[in-house]
Amino acid sequence: MLALRNPVFSPLVFMPFSRILLCIDGEPHTEAAINLALDVARTHGAALDALYVVDPYLKKFTDEIYAINRDECRAHLDRSLAAEGEAALDQLLARAAVADTPVGRLLESGPPEEVIPRMTIAGGYDLVVLGGKRFNGRYDRWTSRDLPGRLDGKLSVPVLLARV
């Protein structure tokens, strides 16, 4: 994975990109990835699509609910998670409109480490941009679901990782 440390001497300037996939999750560490993706798209005149993946991991604990309304609870959770994704995409598209950069909108469901490689191939993307948080020790790394780590080796295109 390509982690951009010095944007002044970036190899991205010399690599031609025409389609960029920006993976967002609505978390604060995604902001740096959004800024980089918008800059790279403008620099290269590339098409930029934003992908929000509704992760089923967040629903795994609903199997432990033995209440009468368990199905209603799951349906509510599905709607809530999709609404979070829509809100994150809306916020990004509003920001991109101010920057005069068109951005496509993609909302998918499934494990992100499976959805992102599938969407990368299906969409013909030649760069994937995502954010990640820094870890302050082994416990943070152990308890995190570290998407960049789960994607390592699964993508056949360059990955621009913005860790903050």
What does the pLDDT read at residue 73? 78
The answer to whether 132 touches 29, Cβ cutoff 8 Å, is yes
Residue written as token pair 């994975």: 1
- Give the span between the Cα atoms of 116 and 131, in whole angstroms: 14
Q: What are the 10-residue block averages of pLDDT along the chain, 164 residues in total?
A: 48 76 89 93 94 84 67 84 94 93 95 94 96 65 63 88 82
Which pLDDT does position 57 carry in this prediction? 79
Domains in the chain (CATH in brackets) are: 19-163 (3.40.50.12370)
Please report which helix (H) or strand (E) contains residue 50, including its range.
strand 47-54
List the strands of the sheet with 103-109, edge to edge. Answer: 2-3, 159-163, 127-132, 19-24, 47-54, 103-109
At 26 the three-state DSSP class reads coil
pLDDT digits 0-9 by tens, 111-139: 999 999 999 999 999 999 998 866 566 64
